[in-house]
Structure 1
């Protein structure tokens, strides 16, 4: 499995995570019982499908190995395996968080190294 996974998060929720020292999830995560993540290959489709047109987002890179056995790889869209975290995300596992702006075409602009 990939060593780095990604969370797309509204900046307001991430500011709260910074304040309390952990990310407890977005409303969809709470509803599903786990925190949704994507691989680098899945992140663009996740952004287009679940965050279309949304601004004030962050792309958060997470060290998958730091999550231990709470991280499960489970089938989702089209049977692809997606990383799901059954628990809170400790900020110690976060490698970086960068803005995920909208481009002129209305799609989110991902960091160069993810292209």
Structure 2
């Protein structure tokens, strides 16, 4: 399982779409994802004080676009999705309690 953190508003904005496009897909060319062990660190580094977050649980075997594990600035390898996230790969949408 891999994960994507988003706001409830961003997820609901695309509720009627078959695919989800995070802002980073347009600005960086991919959607930022995390492994199980990376989620807490990503929340701490980038989402402090951000309300109403969701954690998308994604089955990587169901993705229809290219998934690559790439080194970040700290040389930790993160999964990046090069294309929109097909929603049938999302197996659970969990509210994040901070």
TM-score, normalised to structure 2's length?
A: 0.92
Aligned length: 98
Q: Which has the higher helix share?
A: 1
Q: Which has the higher strand share?
A: 2
1:12 aligns with 2:18: no
RMSD: 1.4
Higher relative contact order (Cα pairs below 8 Å, separated by 6+ residues)? 2
1:31 aligns with 2:27: yes
1:72 aligns with 2:68: yes
Task: Using the TM superposition, name which of 4-13 and 15-24 deviates more.
Answer: 15-24
Task: Using the TM superposition, name which of 83-92 and 9-18 deviates more.
Answer: 9-18
Q: Is the 8 A contact 2:65 2:83 kept in 1?
A: no
Where in structure 1 are there 5+ consecutive unaligned residues? 103-115
1:86 aligns with 2:82: yes
Superposition deviation, residue 68 in structure 1: 5.1
1:58 aligns with 2:54: yes
Change (3 A) 1:68 1:81: farther
Structure 1 residues 9-42: Cα deviation after superposition (integer angstroms, max 9, x where no partner): 01011112322121111x3342111000000100
